[in-house]
C-alpha cells in the first residue's frame, strides 16, 4: 500500500462586500466582486490521505461519513488535482469544524480552502496561492478567499482568483459573531443564489450595484475607516438579502433573533459605539467594531445568541507540517 497524507487548517471568511450569484461561464465564477476578512478563532482542520487501495473517495465530516452532494463536491475538487498529478488514487478526507457546519458561518469557505491546500500537498504538487485559490473557487467561490489571510478581494473575471488586499495586521478590527442557532441552514447558498438569479426581479439591479459597493468597501479597508466600511458593509448585506427575499419562492435566512440583533447593533450606535452588522447566507449576525469596543458589543449581543465569539483578522489556509 502506498499512502500520501497532509493536514491543513483554514478559517472561514466574512464577506464585507457580498458575492451572490454566478456568471454564466464555466468554473463557478461570481457575478459580483467581493471583499472579505479571513477570521481567526474559527477553524476547519482537514486531513487528506491518498491511498492506492481505496476504491472510492471517503469523506468524514464532523465524525460522520458523508455521501451525496458534499462527497461529490469533494471528489470534483480532488479530480482536478488528480489530473494535475497524473494519479488515479482515491483519498480519505477527514474534516472537522470547531463551529457549526453549513449554518451561514462559511464552513464551505474554510472547508474547501483546507481541502485544496491539504490535497495539493499530499499529492506533492507545487501550486502557488493564486493557483490554489482558483482550485478552491471552482469548488466554492468563497473558499477562494480563505486561501489568503487578512483582507481579501475576489473579482468576476474569467477564472478569477482571490487577491490579498491587506494583511491581518493591517487593522485591529474585531468581528463579533453572534450565532443564533446550531442548525444547518434551510437552503444551501449554491441553490439559493441560482434561484435568486433566475427568479428575483431585483437580481439585475443587485449585480449592477454591487461593484460600486465593493469599491467603497475596498477603499474603506485600505483607509481603516470603520464608519465608511460599516455603512457599505451593511448596505451590501441588506441588498443581497433583499434580492434573495424577492426570489420565487422567497429565500428567508433570517429569524426573529436576527432582526433583534440588527436592532441591538443600531441601538449600540445610538449609544456612541461604532458597531455595524453583516449577515451571510444564514441567520447569524456578525458585528464589526474597534478592538476597544469588542467586549461591550459582545456583552450586549450575548443574551440574544446561542454563542458569541470575538474574532479578528486571521491567517490563510496553511499546511500543519509547514513552518508558519
The three cell numbers of residue 17 are 462586500
Distance (Å, whole) CA 97 – CA 99: 5
What are the cell numbers at 154?
475576489
Q: Give the shortest CB-152-to-ligand 2P0 separation in angstroms.
A: 11
State in angstroms the smallest separation of the CB of 160 from ligand 2P0: 11
Residue nearer to ligand 2P0 on the CB measure, 20 or 59: 20
In the complex, least distance from residue 192 CB atom to ligand 2P0, rounded to whole angstroms: 9
The Cα–Cα gap between 62 and 319 comes to 19
Whichever of 195 and 312 has its CB closer to ligand 2P0, that residue is: 195
| Cell numbers placing 125 | 504538487
Strand partners, 275: 289
13/47 with CB nearer ligand 2P0? 13
- Which residue number, 113 or 268, has a Cβ lying nearer to ligand 2P0? 113
Find the largest Cα–Cα distance for the chain. 65
Question: How many other CB atoms are found less than 10 A from the CB of residue 183?
Answer: 12
Q: Give min distance, CB of 98 to ligand 2P0, in A.
A: 19
Q: Which is nearer to ligand 2P0, 141 or 288 (CB)?
A: 141
HSE-CB of 291 using CA atoms within 13 angstroms: 7
**Closest alpha carbon to 236 in 261, 211, 202:** 211
Beta strands in the chain (DSSP E): 3-10, 13-17, 34-38, 44-51, 58-61, 64-65, 90-97, 151-154, 162-166, 173-179, 275-278, 285-290, 307-311, 318-319
Residue 254 CB, nearest distance to ligand 2P0 (Å)?
Answer: 13
**Nearest to ligand 2P0 of 18, 284 (CB atom):** 18
| CB neighbourhood size of 298 (10 A) | 19
Question: Would you call 260 exposed, middle or buried from its count of C-beta atoms within 10 A (0-12, 13-18, 19+)?
Answer: middle
- Measured CA to CA, the distance from residue 128 to residue 209 in angstroms comes to 32
Shortest distance, CB of residue 53 to ligand 2P0, whole angstroms? 31
- What count of other Cβ atoms lies within 10 Å of the Cβ of residue 85? 18
Binding residues for ligand 2P0 (CB under 6 A) = 15, 18-20, 28, 34, 108, 140-142, 189-190, 280-281
Least spacing, CB of residue 296 vs ligand 2P0, in Å: 27
- Reading the block at residue 141, the C-alpha cell is 467561490
Q: Which is nearer to ligand 2P0, 101 or 140 (CB)?
A: 140
The smaller minimum CB distance to ligand 2P0, of residues 254 and 290, is found at 254
Nearest distance in Å: CB 323, ligand 2P0:
30
Amino acid at each position: 500500500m502506498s499512502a500520501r497524507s497532509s493536514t491543513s487548517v483554514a478559517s472561514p471568511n466574512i464577506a464585507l462586500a457580498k458575492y451572490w450569484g454566478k456568471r454564466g461561464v464555466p468554473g463557478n465564477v461570481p457575478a459580483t466582486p467581493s471583499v472579505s476578512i479571513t477570521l481567526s478563532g474559527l477553524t476547519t482542520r482537514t486531513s487528506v490521505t491518498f491511498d492506492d487501495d481505496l476504491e472510492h473517495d471517503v469523506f468524514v465530516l464532523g465524525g460522520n461519513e458523508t455521501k451525496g452532494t458534499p462527497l461529490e463536491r469533494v471528489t470534483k475538487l480532488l479530480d482536478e488535482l488528480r489530473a494535475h498529478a497524473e494519479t488515479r488514487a482515491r483519498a480519505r478526507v477527514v474534516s472537522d469544524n470547531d463551529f457549526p457546519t453549513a449554518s451561514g458561518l462559511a464552513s464551505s469557505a474554510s472547508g474547501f480552502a483546507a481541502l485544496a491546500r491539504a490535497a495539493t500537498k499530499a499529492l506533492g504538487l507545487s501550486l502557488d496561492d493564486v493557483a490554489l485559490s482558483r482550485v478552491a473557487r471552482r469548488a466554492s467561490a468563497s473558499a477562494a478567499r480563505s486561501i489568503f489571510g487578512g483582507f481579501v478581494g475576489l473579482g468576476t473575471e474569467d477564472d478569477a482568483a482571490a487577491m490579498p488586499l491587506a494583511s491581518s495586521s493591517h487593522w485591529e478590527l474585531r468581528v463579533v459573531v453572534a450565532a443564533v442557532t446550531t442548525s444547518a441552514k434551510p437552503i444551501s447558498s449554491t441553490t439559493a443564489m441560482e434561484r435568486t438569479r433566475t427568479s428575483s426581479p431585483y437580481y439585475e439591479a443587485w449585480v449592477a450595484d454591487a461593484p460600486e459597493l465593493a469599491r467603497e468597501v475596498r477603499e474603506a479597508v485600505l483607509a481603516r475607516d470603520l464608519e465608511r466600511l460599516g455603512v457599505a458593509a451593511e448596505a451590501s448585506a441588506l441588498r443581497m438579502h433583499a434580492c434573495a427575499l424577492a426570489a420565487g419562492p422567497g429565500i428567508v435566512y433570517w429569524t426573529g433573533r436576527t432582526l433583534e440583533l440588527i436592532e441591538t447593533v443600531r441601538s449600540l450606535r445610538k449609544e456612541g459605539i461604532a458597531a455595524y452588522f453583516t449577515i451571510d447566507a444564514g441567520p447569524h449576525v456578525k458585528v464589526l467594531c474597534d478592538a476597544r469596543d469588542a467586549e461591550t458589543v459582545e456583552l450586549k449581543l450575548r443574551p440574544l445568541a446561542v454563542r458569541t465569539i470575538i474574532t479578528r483578522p486571521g491567517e490563510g489556509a496553511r499546511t500543519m507540517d509547514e513552518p508558519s
